[in-house]
Amino acid sequence: MNAPDPTLQTSSNPLLREWLAPYGLPPFEQARPEYFESAFEVAMAARCAELDLIAANPEPPTFANTVQALDQCGRLYNRLELLFSNLTVSETSPALQAVERTMAPRLAVHENAVYMHAGLFARIDSLYRQRRQLALEPQDLRLLERVHLDFVRAGAQLSGTARQRYSAVVQELAELCTAFSQNVLADENGFLLELKTESDLAGLPEFLREATRAAAAQRGLGDNRHAVTLSPSLTEPFLTFSARRDLRETLWRQRSLRGAHEGANDNRPVAARIMALRQEQAGLLGYASYADYELADRMAGNTAAVLDLLGKAWEPAKAKAQEDRVALTAMARSLGQPTPIAAWDWRYLAEKVREREFDLDDGALKPYFTLDNMMAAMFDCAGRLFGVRFVEQQGLALYHPDVRAWEVQRADGSLVGLFLGDNFARPAKRSGAWMSIFRSQSGHRGGTLPIVINNNNFAKASPTLLSFEDVKTLFHEFGHALHGLLSQVRHERLAGTSVLRDYVELPSQLFENWALEREVLQRHARHFQTGEPLPDALLDKLQAARRFNQAWTTLMYTGPALIDMALHSLPNGTAVDIAAFETQQCDLLGVPLDIGLRHHLSHFQHLFAGSGYAAGYYVYMWAEVLEADAFQAFSESGDAFDTSTAQRLLRHIYSAGNGQEPAQAFRDFRGRDPQVEPMLRKRGLLPD
């Protein structure tokens, strides 16, 4: 059933021919926008034919001929969809965006047809009802249960007009989420703050001047010009170092107002319509709110558990922020700056206070954190923990010159997978950082090797110097990558990061801990000019300051998480004015005006560019509870690279995929349930 269709191998469409590039990489050089629509039509038809064969099988349903067959079908469609979805976020164009707008609803209709396939679901449902009598192996039982739940949550049990309406809702949501994402990108690309005079550059350290020079060149302003875009890799350091309060305010306001302008890119009505449709979707499936629907398949289980966790951080962080505000206000007065302080002042003043209290200047740290050295550090940590090595491969045809590739090898030289790194911001790429795949690990036909990619948005320079927050982001996304690369499961549906949303951030956030390990920094943090290692004095200051400004960090994250939960907990049928709702929630929560929100609803892509983190932005803190407790296992061993602890971590977390309930997987690693106190201490919200 899964053999390549011989008619496809002679197709004039290169996306439909066999992909002969090394490692089975896509034919990037031939992946032109005009090929996708016709390729998808063929791939969708082929997938439907395979599903029809499974459903029409005259033999009684078995795990092998139904559930396993489903997991292994649709290979042409899967590889094409992964290529398309990666290009639309990493290297898009007006032509590709037009195809995305056309295909988003059609792909949604296709996915809906898969899960509404009555004959296929009847076979799956029959097996599910007798699952306890089938004597299945644990991973096979897990696959059956997950696949059945996938179908149920996608409306497979609906009938009549409800079934038809559900399909229409799914289709419209796909259109709107695509529009939301494209609107944010358009707003980001539509703004450029040119720094024309030396006064405009006041306070900017040399690494940031170099980054603004590169940004200006990238936007076509010519050499020796300077500009700031809305990329976080530029806005965050500019808000931290710029002595020009007026320019900080301009940049802060522009970034806050993405998607909230009247006109073609206004996301407020888009988000409101998405909310109306999500409420309808939840109602059709028997849930009182969209949050109830999403949390039914999360570790948290219900909104009360989420709010309890977020509340443990929110109020203590507000109290701690008041203490910090006193110090920042005093600093503002000493510098002759206006008070009370504003949101565009906090980063700048916090950096000044940090310099004074810890004698630590981020500008003095950055020369030791080159991108190449920090990548070597994360590869080294992965090798010491999990016995893998990364060997760069030159000459591969990839989708952009910035992308690099590494073979991931075991100690015996055998291949684990291929890792791609796409680390720089550019106009054709969405902002933020994320991990994705071009191919999943599975046991299909003897095993498929994963092709995993990390995307970051660092400001490109020569060399590229990172802040320590950038270093943590690099390690975070690499933790996701390892989750995909080290996966060792038989079934693709259970592979790698295909786990519950509030568990998927555990491997990524856990890996961040090694970025602060003393021996890692002593080995890899070296000055880009002299090659000298990070001085012990600077390292001591970095570690001493690790909890500095954590109240601000906690509030910036927790506020949007609480607003997300409130928004998606609205009862079905509740009309929403997005801007008014956000204002109301900020007032109810007491969001400090001089701190604000990391994400506003008009550009909150976690929530509205897709459904993955809707009613789920809390998952980072949920996973932080898990990772803080998990890393404590290494602390208790006395060695951050303890072999036996690392082997347990690999077996139960990084290679286990979705092979069992996540709570049990954590227990198997840690020997008990997680405790929240290590997370609160890590954030400085509880005493040691």
Catalogue all structural domains in the chain, each as residue range(s) with its CATH number: 14-157 (1.20.1050.40), 191-256 (no CATH), 268-360+550-617 (1.10.1370.10), 367-544+620-682 (1.10.1370.40)
Is the pLDDT assigned to residue 192 strictly greater than 80? yes
Is the pLDDT assigned to residue 113 strictly greater than 50? yes
3-state SS string for 344-392? HHHHHHHHHHHHHHHCCCHHHHHHHCEHHHHHHHHHHHHHHHHCEEEEE
- Reading the block at residue 297, the tokens are 């398949």
pLDDT in tens, 606-629: 999 999 999 999 999 999 999 999
Is the pLDDT assigned to residue 686 strictly greater than 90? no
Beta partners for residue 280, in sequence order? none
pLDDT of residue 459: 92
Active site residue 477: yes
pLDDT in tens, 387-418: 999 999 999 999 999 999 999 999 999 999 99
pTM, to two decimals: 0.94
Is the pLDDT assigned to residue 430 strictly greater than 70? yes
pLDDT of residue 1: 30
pLDDT of residue 363: 82
Q: What percent of the chain has pLDDT over 70?
A: 99
Question: Euclidean distance between the first and final Cα of the chain, in Å?
Answer: 59
pLDDT of residue 3: 40
Q: For residues 393 and 406, give the distance between their C-alpha atoms in angstroms, rounded to a whole number.
A: 5
Q: Give the Å distances, CA to CA, from 629 to 57, 95, 474, 480, 682.
A: 48, 47, 21, 18, 10
Is the pLDDT assigned to residue 9 strictly greater than 60? no
Higher-pLDDT residue of 57 and 2 is: 57
What angle (nearest 5°) sits at the alpha carbon of residue 258, between those of residues 257 and 261?
70
Is the pLDDT assigned to residue 2 strictly greater than 50? no
Taking residues 271-286, report their average pLDDT.
Answer: 98
Q: What percent of the chain has pLDDT over 90?
A: 94
Is the pLDDT assigned to residue 43 strictly greater than 90? yes
CB count in 10 Å sphere of residue 601: 25
Give the three-state DSSP class for 668. Answer: helix
Do strands 451-458 and 193-195 pair parallel, antiparallel, or not at all (unpaired)? Answer: unpaired
With cut-offs at 50, 70 and 90, classify the pLDDT of residue 10: low
Taking residues 425-448, report their average pLDDT.
Answer: 95
Single out the catalytic residue among 477, 512, 582, 627: 477
Is the pLDDT assigned to residue 6 strictly greater than 50? no
**What's the mean per-residue pLDDT of the chain?**
96
Is the pLDDT assigned to residue 7 strictly greater than 50? no
With cut-offs at 50, 70 and 90, classify the pLDDT of residue 82: very high
pLDDT in tens, 494-513: 999 999 999 999 999 999 99
pLDDT in tens, 566-594: 999 999 999 999 999 999 999 999 999 99
